[in-house]
Structures are given as structure tokens and as C-alpha cells.
Amino acid sequence: MATKAAELEMETNEHSLVIDALREADPSRKCYRLIGGVLVERTVQEVLPALESNKEQISKIVESLNTQMQAKGQELNEYRERFNIRIVGEEEASNKATEEREGAGTKGGGTGVLVS
């Protein structure tokens, strides 16, 4: 889902660039639009509203995907907490970080040198 959201976000940015360029062009000027792998000759006046509509629809889809990803993330975290699921290495990393913080407070200099 994250990959698709990023891909659609890039498409939205591309649409914005094209819309900005076409707004400055003469409305009667001809331009080409790729539809289903086929280049179709149109005018700027015909293409601009369609591009703006597509951009709005893509933006709505991106928002929907982001909402779904947040909901799934919360659902996943609740599931992990309910069944006490831990990822391998996650607990070790958090324990190591805790030990380093606690160890740094008790050491005098905190130089990182172990003397036996």
C-alpha cells in the first residue's frame, strides 16, 4: 500500500507540473495526450479540465490509502500487543539501548572503554 501511495503521489506531482505548463499555453494550441498507450491530438482547452479532474481523483485515492495504512498500522500494533508478539531483534535492540542509557549514567566519564 505504501508503494502504491508513493507512486500515486508522484503521478499527482507530474499532473501538477503539466497543469502549470498548460495554463500558460494558448487554449487553442494543440497538444497530445496519452490515452491507453495511444497519443491523441487535442487542444489545451480540452485537455486541461481532464488533467485537473484526474489530479483531484488521484489525490483522493492517496488520502484514502494513507487513511487505510494508518488504520492497518494501529490494528497491527493492537494485535501485537494483545498476543505479545515480538519481532526478532526488536527486543534485543531496545534492551541494548536501555542498557547503554543506564550505563552512561553510572559511569564517570562515559568514554566507552571497558577496563577489567
CB atoms within 10 A of CB 47: 20
Which tens digit of pLDDT belongs to each residue from 8-22? 999 999 999 999 999
- What residues does each domain of the chain span? 2-87
- Could you tell me which CATH class the domain 2-87 is placed in? mainly alpha
pTM over 0.75: no
Which tens digit of pLDDT belongs to each residue from 84-114? 988 888 777 767 767 777 765 555 555 666 5
Q: Which three cell numbers stand for residue 54?
A: 484526474
H helices within 24-89, ranges in order? 44-82
